[in-house]
Amino acid sequence: MVPFMIRISRMTDYATVLLAALARDPEACLSAPALAERTRIGMPTVSKVLKILQRGGLVRSTRGLHGGYSLARPAQTISAAAILDALEGPVAVTDCSAGQGHCEIETTCGVGQAWQRVNLAIRRSLYDVSLAQLAGLDTQNFALRGFEQQLNPAIGGRAAAALRRDKSADA
């Protein structure tokens, strides 16, 4: 297969597997041990990842006896970008773009700006893949378009346009 450039951390991988499992049982409240068994991922790890997803607002948790986890919203409305955000968090493209020091080279630092463009494009494509698709539940492409727009206008279906606006605003 073609060489790839983006490395998804193993934790993120686990997250999608777990989310996929939840997506398959939308109404159920699955406990961490139950999910560990279904996914064959180590129980402590499952627990850890679910906690992260909970903080990220992607899953809803119920505590106490018979507690467990379920998706916070329909699988079609959870984008790959949202998953990545929850797991990897905001990451700067280059030290240069985030930091403020040692960048006293003449024109060199027009560099950062072009990477921005790359990242926006990437982000756009990430918004166009839903958990439902990742889980293989939704063979229809780009299903989340309408949904996400409705639920969260800030990031939603118009993500691409919004991002493009951001870009020019920041530039």
> Which parts of this chain interact with DNA (CB under 7 A)?
7, 9-11, 14, 31-34, 42-45, 47-48, 50-51, 54-55, 61-69
Cα→Cα distances 131→84, 85, 147, 154, 163, Å: 11, 14, 13, 19, 21
Among DNA, a copy of itself, none, the one that 57 touches (CB under a kind-dependent 5 to 8 A) is: none
With respect to DNA, which residue has the nearer C-beta, 4 or 140?
4
Angstrom distance (rounded) from CA 53 to CA 66? 19
For the chain, the first-to-last Cα distance in angstroms comes to 37
Among a copy of itself, DNA, none, the one that 136 touches (CB under a kind-dependent 5 to 8 A) is: a copy of itself
Tell whether the torsion through CA atoms of 49, 52, 54 and 59 is positive or negative.
negative
Which among 3-11, 47-55, 56-64, 68-76 is the span making contact with a copy of itself, rule CB under 8 A?
Answer: 3-11
Helix H or strand E encompassing 21: helix 10-23
Partners of 59 in beta bridges: 71
Residue choice 20, 50, 75, 78 for contact with a copy of itself (CB under 8 A): 20
3 state SS of 67: coil
Tell whether the torsion through CA atoms of 55, 141, 135 and 14 is positive or negative.
negative
Report in angstroms how near the CB of residue 6 gets to DNA at its nearest.
12
Question: Does residue 65 bind a copy of itself (CB under 8 A)?
Answer: no
Binding site for a copy of itself (CB under 8 A): 1-8, 10, 13, 16-17, 20-21, 24, 38-40, 80-81, 84-85, 88-98, 102, 104-105, 107-108, 110-111, 113-115, 117-123, 125-126, 128-129, 133-136, 141-142, 145, 160, 163, 166-167, 170-171
